[in-house]
Amino acid sequence: DGTKFATGGQGEDSGKVVIWNMAPVLREEDERNENIPKLLCQMDNHLACVNCVRWSNNGLYLASGGDDKLVMVWKRAAFIGPSTVFGSSSKLANVEQWRCVMILRNHTGDVMDVAWSPHDVWLASCSVDNTIVIWNARKFPEIVMTLKGHTGLVKGLTWDPVGKYIASQADDRSLKVWRTMDWQLETNITKPFSECGGTTHVLRLSWSPDGQYLVSAHAMNNSGPTAQIIERDGWKTNMDFVGHRKAVTVVKFNPKIFKKKQKNGSTPKPSCPYCCCAVGSKDRSLSVWLTSLKRPLVVIHDLFDKSIMDITWTLNGLGLLVCSMDGTVAFLDFSQDELGDPLNEEEKNAIHQNIYGKSLAITMESQLSSTIIENPEMLKYQQERQGNQNPDGAQGIGPENQTPKLTNVLNGESLEDIRKNLLKKQVETRTADGRRRITPLCIAQLDTGGTAAVNSIGMKSNLLLTSASKIEPMKALDSRFTERSKATPGVTSVPLTIGITPLDRVKDSSSVKEPKGKDETSSDSEDKTMVKSMAKRKGEMEGAEVVEKRKKGRPRKDAKMMPFPQVTFLLSKDKEPSRLTTPIAVLKLPTPSIQKSFSTQVSTDGVTYLEVENEVSMVFGSRLSQLKWSREGREWDALLPSRIIIAAGSSDVVAVACEDRTLSVFTACGRRLIPSIILPVPMSALHCSGHFVMALTASAMLSVWDVQKQTALVKNESLNPILSGTDATVSQSFLTQQGVAVVSLSNGKTYCFNSSLETWNLIADKQDSLVQCTDFRNCMSAQDALGSMGPLALTQGRNLSAGRLASRLSSTPHHLQQGMTLAFLEKQLSSALILLSASEYRHWLLIYARFLVNEGYELRLRELCRDLLGPVHKSSSSSWEPTVLGLRKRDLLTEVLPVIGQNLRFQRLFTEYQDQLELLRLK
């Protein structure tokens, strides 16, 4: 929010991270005022010099990397009163408490740069060990991938604003761009760097906020140092920023996109939006460029005594902090007259709309598993299949070969086409020496918030401002999710980022609490939306800090945690002798504590907020509380006569639970849908998804309502069946898009309530030995990885990949392992079915079919095909359903057949069903 910035560097005997107050930097009177602290907190945990500090996009976390080979993640702790750094004078009291919540150990050399991806899905770190590690920011310390390929020290990282690529620059005179879809190398750029001699301490490259340009640090042109501009379109390298006398060390794009400032009274001329970029060099000077001008806007010479190390812009795009190797930080303030008018959200979105067909907040999933993308791909597979009737020839044309093209189609138009059209509009000019200069067209922008640096500097970005703050990434970090299976480096599987899959997003679980960390950004609401075991301590100032006391899963050995009360069964003998002689188990789930105010982010939609203000005013002795809903400038509010404990929302409804045990439900436009529901006991967790509302009460009773049809899907079901006999408590709960309630326990088991069977069904178990020993890796195509997102994947997390690896190393005999894999795959199929998750059902069905084909299970394969084909002749006695979860079974069969055709053993089966389908088609 622009109130503080962080620096990292060398302390007296350790690496040092300092969080500073921005006010004394901005205003002279605040600097003179003794009561306004300059230094907010100093952290000396790093064992050696800190090379980089970066705020997460939602501003809740700070990551730092240093020469001690460690990456540390920091979070603000509740105020515990001023503390002093050990051994220092009392003047250095810490005003704020920041604590290290996670230490990431993997690099074998100094960590040079760290970078959060858009939406804080991943955290990347690079090192002098020549590697880049991608950490799963929602389940630290899990490693998603280690990128190897550089042959020199990697000294800089930058994500593109869409989260589709990450670029790295190293001492090996190359800049590499990696795809996040499969973590493979997209392009390797070496030409502009071939002349580069001498080394720089850092190479901080930067991606423009519209995603169109990637600017490298150190490059050479005619033996002069430059910053190379690389166009996203075709990775062309025709332009550069020239003028520094020594190597460029750092480039940083302004998070804003600007348009020309209109003169007063003149009629506004439509001007092309442009970006702004700051470049720092070893020559101790700083230049600021606007892509609408041929020359730099300003060059400041000899700003420092030594090389410039890092640059960060303030979130409003008008301030610039620069730090140097000489231990100092400079602040530069620009006016809007100088830079221009920053575009507002709507104008920015309009630009996104023009280029990408929709807002750039496309996360991984919506890019990958939207049906729009898959269909042409499937179609192509089918056409090739028809054109290649030799059943065994199908092997050469697996979808693997086409994956890269997969993501490039959006709304029926390929990104390439969109770009080409745009490039036609580009303005090209030539400089006096004949070099091309292109005025960059602004394409689209996602505020990736501030980053961080006197080796590194970062500006904290505001929770409610960044569009990127969609999901709070690090719930896992607080809640210490533990999985028995270690994430194994080297096991590639497309990362399960959770979010916007059109097919099957766990929509609107504004408070899904689970490893993937899909939930709201507001830290205050963390502790209220979730069933948790926690100690309510009167001294807690911020709700968020209760987190430390709340545990999910088993305590990790390495995390020395505070003791915490487990929620256990209270066995109570009734006062009057009851008919039951056995004691009755009273289940008690914790309820959120009441806060004066809090805000919640609704669902996967990064721009919708619910704000709660308790006791806004007194009327006739009763206290009124206010609920405020805002989305992109539209807002409404509602007054309630009791203090609000939990608020949750989806794209269709908003539900609010109050202290007087009432539950109110409103439409997304603020109209009350039903009179207050009276709950028998206080609420423990509340979730909305679509038109469904789920309530979990303190007495461990679950209800789910469809408020549109005004019916109860689940009626006061007790959690007794799944909790009895264990000392587990509920660690998270959520509601799927189809209105299925999912509850995970602290013992690693996850259940869903099936309203048609009226049973609790076990859908995931972290300790399941079947999972550990299954091996279906060879049955997965690159395309499958895209369909595996949804409620089942959410609950199982990534322990599947570990299981698949374990099996290869274990000495399990083949037939046993084969049986376990079969059992596991059938379990996955039935779980997807009971969760009503269509995309996951199709995903596991295809893997299951491939497994049956590879291992030669003819009977099961026949049974599967028979069920998918159904009776060829209509008869009244048949109970066959033509669809499953809205998917047509015969369409699924057409997808399974090419798989069967790949094994010559099943030629007869293949032709038999191929002919049957053909007959049905002709009918």
3-state secondary structure 830-888: HHHHHCCCHHHHHHHHHHHHHHHHHHCCHHHHHHHHHHHHCCCCCCCCCCCCCEECCEE
- Between 793 and 804, the more confident residue is 793
Three-state DSSP class for 78? coil
Most confident range (mean pLDDT) of 93-102, 255-264, 438-447, 821-830 is 821-830
What is residue 387's predicted lDDT score, i.e. its pLDDT? 57
- Domain stops at, among 64, 95, 111: 111
| Lookup: tokens for 472 | 């709070």
Which band of pLDDT confidence, cut at 50, 70 and 90, is reported for residue 581? Answer: very low
| CA 606 to chain CA mean position, Å | 11
Average pLDDT estimate for 450-461: 60
What is the share, in percent, of the chain residues with pLDDT greater than 90? Answer: 27
DSSP per position, 587-602 = P----PPP-SEEEEE-
Give me the residue label for tokens 């302004």. 254
Nearest to 201 by CA among 218, 215, 223: 218
- Domain stops at, among 80, 111, 142: 111
Nearest to 659 by CA among 621, 627, 692, 625: 625
Cβ contact 229:239 at 8 Å: yes
pLDDT in tens, 605-636: 567 888 888 888 777 777 889 888 888 778 88
CATH number for the domain that contains residue 90: 2.130.10.10
What is residue 820's predicted lDDT score, i.e. its pLDDT? 84
321 in a structural domain: no
| Lookup: tokens for 292 | 């609408």
Q: Residue 706 is which amino acid?
A: D
pLDDT at 510 over 60: no
Give ∠ CA 116-117-120 in degrees, rounded to 5: 75
Q: Give the pTM.
A: 0.45
What is residue 368's predicted lDDT score, i.e. its pLDDT? 37
In whole angstroms, give the CA distance from residue 393 to residue 381: 13
- Between 441 and 108, the more confident residue is 108
pLDDT in tens, 525-569: 444 433 333 333 333 344 443 334 444 444 444 444 434 444 334
Burial of 399 (0-12, 13-18, 19+ CB in 10 A): middle
DSSP per position, 19-58 = EEESHHHH-HHHHH-TTS-SEEEEE---SS-EEEEEE-TT
Q: Which helix (H) or strand (E) holds 910?
A: helix 907-922
What is residue 529's predicted lDDT score, i.e. its pLDDT? 37
Which band of pLDDT confidence, cut at 50, 70 and 90, is reported for residue 587? Answer: low
Which band of pLDDT confidence, cut at 50, 70 and 90, is reported for residue 432? Answer: low
What is residue 315's predicted lDDT score, i.e. its pLDDT? 85
pLDDT in tens, 865-921: 999 998 877 766 678 888 999 999 999 999 898 888 888 788 888 888 988 888 888
pLDDT in tens, 333-344: 998 888 888 888
pLDDT at 495 over 80: no
Burial state string for 4-40 with b = 16 or more CB within 10 A and e = fewer than 16: bbbbbbbbeebbbbbbbbbbbbeeeeeeeeeeebebb
Q: Which helix (H) or strand (E) holds 773?
A: helix 769-773
What is residue 650's predicted lDDT score, i.e. its pLDDT? 87
300 in a structural domain: no
In whole angstroms, give the CA distance from residue 844 to residue 824: 10
| Lookup: tokens for 611 | 């704000």
pLDDT in tens, 294-347: 889 999 998 899 999 999 999 888 999 999 999 999 999 998 888 888 888 778
| Lookup: tokens for 771 | 């999972």
pLDDT at 755 over 60: yes
What is residue 400's predicted lDDT score, i.e. its pLDDT? 38
Cβ contact 137:184 at 8 Å: no
Cβ contact 228:240 at 8 Å: yes
831 in a structural domain: yes
Q: Residue 448 is which amino acid?
A: T
In whole angstroms, give the CA distance from residue 587 to residue 84: 44
Calculate the average pLDDT of the chain.
75
854 in a structural domain: yes
Instruction: Identify the sign of the CA torsion 794, 796, 799, 803.
Output: negative
Three-state DSSP class for 13? coil
Mean pLDDT is lowest, of 85-89, 324-328, 653-657, 766-770, for 85-89
pLDDT at 815 over 90: no
Burial state string for 207-237 with b = 16 or more CB within 10 A and e = fewer than 16: bbbbbbbbbbbbbbbeeebbbbbbbbbeeeb
Burial state string for 496-518 with b = 16 or more CB within 10 A and e = fewer than 16: bbbbbbebbbbbbbbbbbbbbbb
pLDDT at 123 over 90: yes
In whole angstroms, give the CA distance from residue 365 to residue 372: 12
What is the share, in percent, of the chain residues with pLDDT greater than 70? Answer: 69
Torsion, CA 740, CA 745, CA 748, CA 753, rounded to 10: -20
Cβ contact 629:670 at 8 Å: yes
Torsion, CA 72, CA 78, CA 79, CA 82, rounded to 10: -30
What is residue 86's predicted lDDT score, i.e. its pLDDT? 53
What is residue 583's predicted lDDT score, i.e. its pLDDT? 42
Cβ contact 176:165 at 8 Å: no
Domain of 842?
Answer: 769-920
Q: Number of folded domains in the chain?
A: 2
What is residue 548's predicted lDDT score, i.e. its pLDDT? 40
In whole angstroms, give the CA distance from residue 199 to residue 215: 18
| Lookup: tokens for 415 | 């990104």
Contacts with 242 (C-beta within 8 Å, 6 or more apart), sequence order: 221, 224, 226
pLDDT at 503 over 50: no
Q: What are phi and psi of 370, to 5 degrees?
A: -75, 145
| Lookup: tokens for 528 | 């209220």
Which band of pLDDT confidence, cut at 50, 70 and 90, is reported for residue 819? Answer: confident
Average pLDDT estimate for 733-744: 90
435 in a structural domain: no
Give ∠ CA 399-402-406 in degrees, rounded to 5: 105
Burial of 438 (0-12, 13-18, 19+ CB in 10 A): middle
In whole angstroms, give the CA distance from residue 464 to residue 635: 14
Average pLDDT estimate for 461-490: 40
- Between 570 and 616, the more confident residue is 616
Q: Residue 725 is which amino acid?
A: G
| Lookup: tokens for 481 | 């999710």
What is residue 737's predicted lDDT score, i.e. its pLDDT? 87
Cβ contact 231:296 at 8 Å: no
| Lookup: tokens for 815 | 């037939």
What is residue 562's predicted lDDT score, i.e. its pLDDT? 39
Average pLDDT estimate for 768-780: 74
Q: Residue 343 is which amino acid?
A: L
- Domain stops at, among 95, 111, 127: 111
pLDDT in tens, 186-199: 999 998 888 887 77
What is residue 346's predicted lDDT score, i.e. its pLDDT? 79
Q: Residue 625 is which amino acid?
A: S
In whole angstroms, give the CA distance from residue 529 to residue 612: 13
Give me the residue label for tokens 């939406």. 119
428 in a structural domain: no
476 in a structural domain: no
pLDDT at 348 over 60: yes
407 in a structural domain: no
| Lookup: tokens for 781 | 């195509």
Report the phi/psi class of residue 582: left, alpha or beta, with left for phi > 0 and alpha for psi in -120 to 50: beta
